[in-house]
Structures are given as C-alpha cells and as structure tokens.
C-alpha cells in the first residue's frame, strides 16, 4: 500500500512564518522542466552542480540525503514534490 501524503497547502501552512499570508508558489511540470533544462528557481541546475541527476520526482528528494545541504529541502506531497529554498523562503512545486 502506498502511504498517503499531506497536501502542499498543509505543508506550506506548517512551514511558513505567516500561515495567513502564504506566498505564491509556481507549479512546474517536471517533464516540461526536464525538457527545457530549467525551472523558475533553477532547482534542476543546482542539483546538477551537486552531481545529482533528476529524472523523476523521487530524484528531487535525494537532496535530503546530503547532511551538508542547508539551502534546499524537498518534501513529498499529494500533488508531487515541493522544494523550499531556505535562504529566500521560496517554494516550488514539481508536479508529474
């Protein structure tokens, strides 16, 4: 049985400083981002600089395995994978 995941809206409210004033978050098709080689926050390019290849949504979660990584954090959510950029408080939601 596949575990259920919380929605992105729930995750965002939990992690944002002001849950009543949530940021606008771009939803990006992973297939389109891979085809174009980039995304609005340049997450895919950053992964490449770390030697991480992204081919599927689960690959975005591999950033969490790096104990020295402080900038990006990825979360599995019902809609796909959410990635936060800690220093900027920005989020990007990758969807299938």
Question: pLDDT tens digits for 36-87?
Answer: 989 999 999 999 999 999 999 999 999 999 899 999 999 999 999 999 998 8
Examine residue 85 and state whether it is found in any structural domain, yes or no: yes
Residue 2 belongs to some domain of the structure: no
User: Is residue 57 assigned to a domain?
Assistant: yes
Q: Is 50 a member of any domain? A: yes
Q: Is the residue at 67 inside a domain?
A: yes
Number of folded domains that form the chain: 1
Residues present in the chain in total:
96
How far from 7 is each of 23, 38, 39, 73, CA to CA, in Å?
16, 25, 21, 16
Would residue 68 count as lying in a domain?
A: yes
- Domain of 64 in residue numbering reads as 8-13+24-95
Q: Which two tokens stand for residue 47?
A: 């992964």
Strands 90-95 and 72-77 come out as unpaired
- The tens digit of pLDDT for each residue in 8-21 reads 988 988 887 676 77
């Amino acid at each position: 049985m596949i575990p259920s995941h919380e929605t992105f809206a729930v995750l965002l409210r939990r992690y944002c400083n002001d849950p009543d004033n949530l940021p606008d978050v771009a939803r990006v098709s992973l297939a389109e981002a891979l085809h174009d080689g980039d995304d609005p926050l340049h997450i895919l390019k950053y992964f490449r600089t770390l030697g991480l290849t992204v081919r599927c949504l689960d690959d975005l979660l591999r950033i969490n395995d790096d104990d020295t990584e402080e900038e990006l954090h990825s979360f599995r959510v019902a809609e796909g994978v959410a990635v936060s950029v800690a220093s900027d408080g920005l989020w990007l939601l990758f969807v299938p």
